[in-house]
Amino acid sequence: MKITMQSSSMATTGKKSQSCLDTSSDNKKIKGVIRVLALFTSVCLIFLLSSCILQSKQPNTAPSVRIVSPQDSEVFLASSLRISIEAEDAEKNLKNIKVYENGQVIGNASRSTSQGQFQDPSLPERWHFNWNASENGTYIFGAEAIDELGKRSTTFVSFEVQIPSPVNPSTPIDTIAFENYKQNLALWQQTAINSYVIDFQRICFCLPNLTQPVKLSVENHNLSDAIYLSGAAVNQSNYVHFYTINKAFSLIQEAFDAKAAEVRVVYDQEFGFPTSVFIDYDERLADEELQFRFNNFISN
């Protein structure tokens, strides 16, 4: 009987020992899981802090800016001009563009609309400023682009305003411009030149394949070949955007017929063809203007 009781007591003690061992093992597992979770959390926190520090240390670059129109050294025969500007900020934080006339701030440019059309975010932003010349002379215009953090950059152009004085003070300026157009068209037609090579550049908020300077070859008044001045070939589907001299005269005539808000043209004194053309069809709209220029004319 005593032996039986001892065996029962030993069995009970064995079960208790085994239970303690199991509990101790479970506690170790739980502690191990807690350590892994704590380590994982620490790694995540370190990663997040490192990312924040790296982002905070990334330099904020100054925006870029250029005056699209007027071009440097251009001559204008009108007192009212639309200053066209494009600007770009790598961080997309462009805040404002200040406009300068002869070193003095005269206002802020306005963001141009695209008549409801989607503007490619990869392209520079479009801005404009409407300005009236107080008198004839040379003007230096500046545009200063400023981002949200105060970084800024500035560009300048110099141009000349020559408002012709009419013989009859009551003669409108647009009448003088149209008479000037007819005289130069007649001069061009008298040359009887129908084949030539000329550099052409379209000035607009367009893709680079339309704004790069191109060398045009014209035969019998028709565009026969075009090549970018960089040497790259021009896709023939883009030929429609490049104008011959006769086409330029037609566009000017159409602008006068349509009573465009502004027609500014500079003509070559020897041959009469337009060297610089700016047409604003409707001053209430932005980015519908047409602007282009010719250079380096060689007749065949």
What mean pLDDT do residues 114-137 have? Answer: 72
Q: What is the pLDDT of residue 253?
A: 93
Predicted confidence (pLDDT) per residue in 134-165, tens digit: 888 899 999 999 999 889 999 999 988 877 65
Scan for tokens 């520079």, then name that residue: 124
pLDDT over 70 percentage in the chain = 74
| pLDDT > 50? residue 1 | no
Q: Looking at 23-32, 88-97, 182-191, 248-257, which range is the least confident one?
A: 23-32
- Every domain of the chain and the residues it spans: 1-58, 60-163, 166-300
| pLDDT > 70? residue 88 | yes
What mean pLDDT do residues 64-89 have? Answer: 82
Q: What is the pLDDT of residue 117?
A: 41
Instruction: Name 20's Cβ contacts closer than 8 Å, sequence gap at least 6.
Output: none
- For residues 10 and 18, give the distance between their C-alpha atoms in angstroms, rounded to a whole number: 12
CA geometry: angle at 263 spanning 162 and 204, to 5°? 105
Q: What is the pLDDT of residue 104?
A: 92
Q: Which residue did the predictor score with more confidence, 113 or 59? A: 59
- For residues 132 and 283, give the distance between their C-alpha atoms in angstroms, rounded to a whole number: 13
| pLDDT > 90? residue 92 | no
Q: Which residue did the predictor score with more confidence, 188 or 174? A: 188
Tell me the pLDDT band of 207, cut-offs 50, 70 and 90: confident
What mean pLDDT do residues 84-113 have? Answer: 89
| pLDDT > 80? residue 33 | no
Kind and range of the H or E run holding 26: helix 2-57
Structure tokens at 24: 């101790």
Provide CATH code, domain 60-163.
Answer: 2.60.40.10
Helices and strands (H, E) in the chain, number of each type = 4, 15
Highest mean pLDDT among 50-64, 102-116, 270-284: 270-284
Whole-angstrom CA distances from 146 to 25, 66, 102 are 66, 13, 19
- In our burial notation (b when 16+ CB lie closer than 10 A, e otherwise), range 99-137 reads bbbeeeeeeebeebeeeeeeeeeeebbbbbbebebeeee
What is the 8-class DSSP label of residue 261?
S
- Cβ–Cβ under 8 Å, residues 95 and 148: yes
